[in-house]
Chains A and B, each alone.
Chain A
Amino acid sequence: MILEVNELTKHFGGLKAVNGVNLRVKQGSIHSIIGPNGAGKTTLFNLITGSIPPMSGTVLFDGQDITGWPPERLARGGVARTFQRTSIFMDLPVLENVALAIRSREGRSASLWQSHQHEDEAADEARDILASVGLRGREDAKAGMLSHGYQRALDIAIGLALKPRLILMDEPLAGMSRGDRETIAALITMLRETMGLTIIVVEHDVGMVMRLSDRITVMQHGTVIADAPPDEIRGNEAVRQAYLHGSFAQ
């Protein structure tokens, strides 16, 4: 198990957003977290990625206790994330977006000098990463000029530049056109196949999740109501009940 979440809890006032959640994520798997609106998916995601501290419970990454680690420490420790609302450096060139993450990974963000060799190595690595997410030939464009689908791919490329072992994606398919959704889904599968990455996906698009995932955790009212491979989730009565009022059909 690369990630173990034990009895994780976070309440906002009277709202039990995440209430005693347990989660086991297998190394090299695509593990999705789904659930109706307000189920606590995003809070769970933010607890794991260090955006907010939990009230109780622990998060173990590869056996190490990472509970409450701030984002920058997690990023250096091999846990990357992408954002539901694409989070990139809009005004900077595409290549520089990725090169920033590479320099950060190498601990060179504060350095006052870099050799041409260093700069070229980082640029070459950034180009390779960009090519792997389908952004070859767009290195010099401003990130803000890319289409939504390409911006999402760049967001993922920035995460990959950290050489993470685990990457968490917050609704990677949200707000995408049909074609872009297929592209991003194919990209997620490819990352697992070729890089052996472990990927946790929080997603609304249940149809895509069924195709993509090795395992699915279903949440409702801040707790886990099912945790199984896609086939079993499809036939699960509790999950059907949770989604009765709508979005399962999507």
Chain B
Amino acid sequence: MIATTLSERRVRSRGSLIGLAVIAAAGLFLPFATADQPFLLMLASHALIAAILALSLDMLTGNTGLLSFGHAAWYGFGAYVAGLLSKSVSSDIAVLVLLTLAATLLVSGAIGAILVRQVGKTFAILTLALSQIMFALVFVFSDITGGEDGLQGIPIATFFGAQIVSPTVWYAILLGALLLALAGALHIRRAPLGRAWLAIRENSERARFIGMNVALLKLISYMISASLASLAGVLFVLFNGATSPDLLHWLESGKVLMYVVLGGVGTLFGPVIGAVVFTLAEHYVSSFTDAWLIYFGALFVLIVIVAPGGLFGGAARLATRLSARKPGRRAAQ
């Protein structure tokens, strides 16, 4: 009996490791393929930031079942806080990441404590309201934030005094951040915390009646998710050298939600793939036609109806169907 658990555990962790390795290999290979096309490397860098953002939302919506319509709030929060700090405190990337994450934990903890007591639609609507408030704050304090013009003139990020300018180095930093975040997310999902989140997503009433502090567990999920989104914002503003209120717009929140649905809610790998596919497709399709959003809307509807599991879920289902005759499956009948 114990042997089954052990082998299952190995299979599951092997699957995650293979997934991580594939993403790492693909990511490392890319700079060589794009050596003579610097633009592609930049596009890929933006895709990596989008992937971190998508992962952050999946840790909330996919793991714990809390739907956020305003996740860009934390993306923009991270970008503006890091941008302002880099102009006033330090341009060191490590310092900026740490300070911004501390600020995010503080603010998301306070806001989350109110949010997680709401359920379902109320929670989703309040997240939307929160992002709109943050959006409005940029204009209220436009003398600090630059208002509609955005926050400009961010100094070049440094690391222990050395300036980070090479696109390849930036790309490596972003890839490293994504792989770390993904490895962390995969680890948490297998740890008791991640499994408690799944239980809450499945049946939060029952979770309470087995003694779980559901509000606290939801809050932890919210804070981790907000922090990861904020990290994506920090990386964006330092990579990009500027940020605009667009980052906080509800359209941005909608896009993140699309990454997650496109890739497969709750699969962690799926949203990462969804974000990359979306970012590349957005670039190429929008160069053909201005109406690209219409095509994406149609694709979104199609995926929700035809493949509710998204790209990753669909692929996984296909793989299961192909291996359906293997003996291990029969135990589930």
Residues of A within 8 A of B (CB): 49, 70-73, 75-76, 80-81, 83, 87-92, 96, 99-101, 103-105, 108-114, 116, 119-120, 123-124, 127, 140-142, 145, 158, 161-162
Contacts and interface: CB of A to CB of B under 8 A. Distances in A.
Given A89-B202, A90-B202, A91-B202, A81 B209 contact: yes
Contacts of B210: 75, 100-101, 104-105, 158, 161-162
A145 B196 contact: no
Contacts of A111: 191-193
A72 B199 CA distance: 14
Given A110-B216, A119-B5, A145-B332, A87 B203 contact: yes
B317 interface: no
B46 to A, nearest CB: 31
Contacts of B322: none
Contacts, number: 105
B220 A123 contact: no
A103 B198 contact: no
Given A89-B202, A101-B210, A104-B212, A109 B217 contact: yes
Interface in B7-59: 9
B213 interface: yes
Interface of B: 1-2, 4-6, 9, 187-188, 191-193, 195-196, 198-199, 202-203, 205-214, 216-217, 220, 331-333
Contacts of B196: 100, 103-104, 109-110
Contact of B212 (A72, A80, A114): A72
B217 A72 contact: no
A94 to B, nearest CB: 10
B205 A109 contact: no
B195 A96 contact: yes
A80 B209 CA distance: 7
B202 A140 contact: no
Nearest to A145: B332
24 contacts: A72-B211, A72-B212, A72-B214, A75-B211, A83-B206, A87-B205, A88-B206, A89-B198, A89-B203, A100-B196, A100-B210, A103-B192, A103-B196, A105-B211, A110-B192, A110-B213, A112-B188, A112-B192, A113-B191, A119-B5, A120-B5, A123-B1, A140-B331, A140-B332
A112 B203 contact: no
Nearest to A87: B206
B62 to A, nearest CB: 13
Given A81-B209, A89-B203, 8 more contacts: A87-B205, A88-B203, A89-B206, A100-B210, A104-B211, A109-B212, A109-B213, A141-B332
A49 B206 CA distance: 12
List 9 tightest A-B contacts by C-beta distance, closest first. A75-B211, A109-B196, A89-B202, A101-B210, A76-B211, A104-B211, A87-B206, A71-B208, A111-B192
